[in-house]
Structure 1
Amino acid sequence: MSSEPSLNDKKIDVLHLERRSTESPLHSQEELELLDSIEQTETGLYSWLVTLTAALGGLLFGYDTGIIAGVLVYIGSDLGHTLSSSEKELITSITSGGAFFGAMFAGITADRYGRSAAAIVPLYIAEVSPSKYRGRMIGLDNMSITGGQLLSYGIGAAFAYVTGGWRYMVGGGAIPAILLAILLTFCPESPRQLIYHNKPEEATKVIRKIYPNGTDQQVADKVKHITHHVYLAKAVNEGKSRWWIIKQLYVVPANLRALMAACGLMAISQLAGFNSLVYYSPLVFSLVGFENPVAVGTIIAGVNFVFTFVNLILVDRVGRRRILLCTVQFMGFSLVIAAVAFIYIPITHDLTLEPNVMVGWPAKLVLAAVVFYVAFYSSGIGNTAWLSSELFPMEVRSMGTMMMTMVCWASNIIVASTFLTQFENTTPSGTYGFYAAICLLGWVAVYFCYPEVAGMTLEDIGEIFNHGFGVKEARVIQKRMKAEKKAIANNAATTA
């Protein structure tokens, strides 16, 4: 009977890994995969609870981005005069600008001080998630974002007729922020970060909680597997500045391809115009003649929330790439329908509806088209884009996530600061036609440049971009994984 490996044995194993990782490759790919057998065990409740706690950051994010829609409708002349389109764009884009610099700060400090909230939430969840549930767990963060947006619309409607109600709408964002600050103290650090900071014993404890059904040997093997990749990453970055690490995203071809895939998908998700609906949907629906535009906007937020749940269910089963290829083009087609419907709505250049015009079929068609657009967006790219932090190898993961998040907010600023002006100068039909073109071109980019990585470990994903954008290589790996799972299942059936 073999005895349980002692803590000293584990320390020796880790030190042995450190020495070998600097001398020669630690293991063949097959040996590394054997060290990761714990990924096939059943996952307990712990990692889900940690994910739900971290996802409160998504709720805060969603509330803050969604509440501005109600504020713009009800702020009136409380700031001394009725706001012009450019002033509304400025107020909306300032919040995104703050988030842009916050993402930069979070990325720079993430490796030194560990995984924190805001921009780092998807990265943190990715590192504490079992690989087979990683998509769903990050999806919980995305679902929290859409839930926060839905909540913000409900609060906007509740305070619609309260004097100075927009102030309560904005102040309400402090509640999830305070709750998150309290609960984060109970969340563990990422095992990869603990090993990065030479704390293998603590990492072992966290891994044992994440994989409660793993054996002691499997836990020790998981520590070895992570340690191998962590020390390879440390060997690359040792003694280097943050600026040098950022440059590795661009000068190392595999990193650059991962960056292009992650940031490109994020840019498409924002430049396709979705946040114009989050920020301005009540204004748009009042523009086409609906009497209660915030209530109509709540319908959009509700659709967004429900179909985020659809993505959460499917993302690990169906895969990221397949979901994108089944949804992005239909976003474009929905926007084309909206663009055509706007032709029949008499909107003046200063964004007002001509007198005595009633809501007719064109306005209802716009609403229907927007509902379908949001459904395809939320079940596809809107949530999948945030999974792309998994594409980066550990040595540049925090910086890659920083760049991806900065692209998100930079694109967000572009949409927020130009939407109303674009509506005025190119007409609503031209605006939605432009967003439709981005969606259709984005589908082409996904087809050629976005690989399928569902079920793969973070360590293995980093290898596929050594083969171009890794679309074919990932397909080969996925087939091999399915064959291995089938063999394991057949083995288990035979043994039984």
Structure 2
Amino acid sequence: MTDTAAEPLIANHHRDLPDDARDHRYDHHDEEEVDQEVDESALVSPGPFIWGLTICAGVSGLLFGYDTGVISSTLVSIGSDLSSRPLSTFDKSLITSCTSFFALLASPLTGILADQVGRKVVILSADVLFVLGALLQSWTSTVGGMIAGRSIVGVAVGSASFVVPLYIGELSPGKFRGRLVTVSSLFITGGQVVAYIIGWLFSERAGGWRWMVGIGAVPAAVQFFMLFLFLPETPRYLVKAGRKAKAKGVLQKVYGEGVHGGLVEAVLRRVEREMLEEEDAAEGRGSPGVAKSGWKAKVEKVQDNYAQLVIVGGNRRALIIACMLQGFQQLCGFNSLMYFSATIFSLVGFRSPTLTSLSIALTNFAFTLVAFAYIDRIGRRRILLWSIPIMVAGLALCAVAFGFVTLPDEEHAAAASVGTSSSRTWPLVILLAMTTYVAGYAIGLGNVPWQQSELFPLSVRSLGSALATATNWGSNTLIGITFLPMMELFTPVGTFALYAAVCVGAWVSVWRIYPETAGLSLEDVGGVLRDGFGVEESVRRFRGRRRGM
């Protein structure tokens, strides 16, 4: 029977079937039929609706990028405006790392909220926090106030950084999901470019840093009203919440009403089927017991979701892969450039360090466009295996070049000048090496980890994505608080050599355990990880899909 209206009744009836009957409700023929029904090969491009919601949701990425990028210019512009003294290395490390630390704390909690109240509500809440944090930073006159403002922004960034890719991924057709989620990364890099331009424009003005941090409130307020008035909840969350009719209406807008109606029904059936199978698997791990309601039931549901992430093999493997990619994305040292690039370029003798830092942000933005164009064609796995060696080469060259540069004390960096021929050459080599590294990062490791939501089944997708994002922010916190001390303790040569070694470890890990998921529907990815990491089989199937295009 394929009548979707009758499927809830069928689902209830299946709970009373004996085990052997439950195991065979979907035979091989049914599975092939569903796979044919959800074939998206006829789709030519995302429609206006999906582009509109992707761009609107992507504004959170703009805020994410702006708030991580603007601190680089802010740190070299504050002077003695906070607490009536110059910022120490410890002050700078705290101001920088508190954002990622509070993002780390927020990610798991908002992951739970996204399952309880929806993805859209979490994005709206993040917008409010972005506004409050930006205004507090612009008004404060103390280091403590600046740390508080950056911490509020950290909660917003931690919430938005996982839920926006999740939101876009759950709304996107599988054929375009990689590119559409990459739009969020494109907004992040665009936000960093804007941050450096704003930083350059206001860097010479007295108190200009207050404008730098305060401007971040504007796009957050705009997104809040756009999202509140026009954007829907994701259809997969709506199905999970029992609002199938509304989910169907959203899917009709995504695929085009009246054009791909059969595809809409097929997607709904696939989501319902996945939910039913997960429910049966959960019952198989233990008796459902007496039905409970209220907060106790919600707490037990959260505990069960955590247990599913660890106990169920496919979920556990998805969590390992997602956390691995998010950890390597930060431990490779990239955000040390975002936070401290102006400081680095000031130390090596560039007269306009903020403007020089703009080249880093522009490179990141330009090569994110490359990822946008090719991530679904080349595949997630292969784009990482090709781009990480570029990062290693850039970091290695950077480490070598720093060996030929004598760095002044940071407080004397403003007076440093590029004097001899050799001192002019090696700072330029450092700039070239950093842009090479950033290009490789933007193509692969800067984007692919944010495809994380596709690895998890619906029941644990929000929580799994949140924990992976928490890994990102934990690693980010470590990088932010240790970079300047590492530069002093290990010297720049040792610091960038260590980041290069991390990238080598990332390449080996991707080669061993990361399967190819490009082109698969969200409900199909779970099958890849069900009995193992599925690397060889996934690569073989991806090649087959490419030949069939």
Contact 2:395 2:497 in 1 (8 A): yes
Match of 2:278 in 1: 233
Q: 1:184, 1:341 → 2: CA distance?
A: 47
Letter of the 2:32 counterpart: E
Contact 1:311 1:383 in 2 (8 A): yes
Match of 1:273 in 2: 333
Matched position secondary structure for 1:177: helix
Matched position secondary structure for 2:490: helix
TM-superposition CA deviations, 1:175-212 (whole Å, max 9, x none):
11111111112111111111111111111111111111
Match of 1:192 in 2: 236
> Cα offset for 1:233?
3.2
> Which of residues 528, 531, 534 in structure 2 aligns to 1:464?
528
Match of 1:397 in 2: 461
Q: Aligned in 2, Cα 1:218/1:241: closer, same or farther, shift over 3 Å?
A: closer
Letter of the 1:274 counterpart: F
Q: 1:356, 1:453 → 2: CA distance?
A: 50
Matches within 5 A, 1:65-214: 65-79=68-82, 80-116=84-120, 117=123, 118=160, 119-185=162-228, 186-212=230-256, 214=259
> Cα offset for 1:39?
5.9
Match of 1:50 in 2: 53
Letter of the 2:90 counterpart: S
Contact 1:263 1:407 in 2 (8 A): yes
Q: Which moved more, 1:33-42 or 1:312-321?
A: 33-42
Contact 1:287 1:351 in 2 (8 A): no
Contact 1:268 1:439 in 2 (8 A): yes
Match of 2:360 in 1: 300
Matched position secondary structure for 1:161: coil
Match of 2:396 in 1: 336
Matches within 5 A, 1:467-486: 467-482=531-546, 485=548
2:324 equivalent to 1:291: no
Contact 1:452 1:471 in 2 (8 A): yes
> Cα offset for 1:96?
1.1
Q: Which moved more, 1:288-297 or 1:42-51?
A: 42-51
TM-superposition CA deviations, 1:276-298 (whole Å, max 9, x none):
00000000000000000000001
Q: 1:284, 1:370 → 2: CA distance?
A: 11
Letter of the 2:238 counterpart: L
Matched position secondary structure for 2:26: coil
> Cα offset for 1:18?
5.2
Match of 2:387 in 1: 327
> Cα offset for 1:15?
3.2
Q: 1:471, 1:403 → 2: CA distance?
A: 23
Contact 1:66 1:278 in 2 (8 A): yes
Q: 1:355, 1:222 → 2: CA distance?
A: 62
TM-superposition CA deviations, 1:67-87 (whole Å, max 9, x none):
111110000111111111111
Q: Aligned in 2, Cα 1:9/1:473: closer, same or farther, shift over 3 Å?
A: closer
Match of 1:346 in 2: 406
Q: 2:47, 2:118 → 1: CA distance?
A: 24
> Which of residues 224, 229, 233 in structure 1 aligns to 2:269?
224
Contact 2:349 2:416 in 1 (8 A): no
Matched position secondary structure for 1:110: helix
TM (norm. structure 2) is 0.83
Q: 1:367, 1:263 → 2: CA distance?
A: 31
Q: Which moved more, 1:362-371 or 1:23-32?
A: 23-32
Letter of the 1:77 counterpart: S
Match of 1:493 in 2: none
Q: Which moved more, 1:102-111 or 1:142-151?
A: 102-111
Match of 1:449 in 2: 513
Match of 2:499 in 1: 435
Matched position secondary structure for 2:515: coil
Q: 1:18, 1:107 → 2: CA distance?
A: 28
2:53 equivalent to 1:59: no
Contact 1:89 1:420 in 2 (8 A): yes
Contact 2:349 2:417 in 1 (8 A): no
TM (norm. structure 1) is 0.92
Contact 1:271 1:438 in 2 (8 A): yes
Matched position secondary structure for 1:381: coil
Letter of the 1:423 counterpart: M
Q: 1:9, 1:437 → 2: CA distance?
A: 56
Letter of the 1:100 counterpart: L
Q: Which moved more, 1:347-356 or 1:270-279?
A: 347-356
Q: Which moved more, 1:367-376 or 1:384-393?
A: 384-393
TM-superposition CA deviations, 1:126-173 (whole Å, max 9, x none):
100000100000010000000011101111111112211111111111
Q: 1:234, 1:190 → 2: CA distance?
A: 21
Contact 2:37 2:262 in 1 (8 A): no
Q: 1:18, 1:53 → 2: CA distance?
A: 38
Contact 2:101 2:474 in 1 (8 A): yes
Contact 2:62 2:191 in 1 (8 A): yes
Q: Aligned in 2, Cα 1:394/1:356: closer, same or farther, shift over 3 Å?
A: closer
TM-superposition CA deviations, 1:293-349 (whole Å, max 9, x none):
000001111111111111001001111111000011210111010000001101257
Match of 2:155 in 1: none
Gaps of 5+ in 2: 124-159, 283-287, 289-296
Gaps of 5+ in 1: 487-496
Contact 1:349 1:425 in 2 (8 A): no
Matched position secondary structure for 1:246: helix
Letter of the 2:96 counterpart: T
RMSD: 2.1
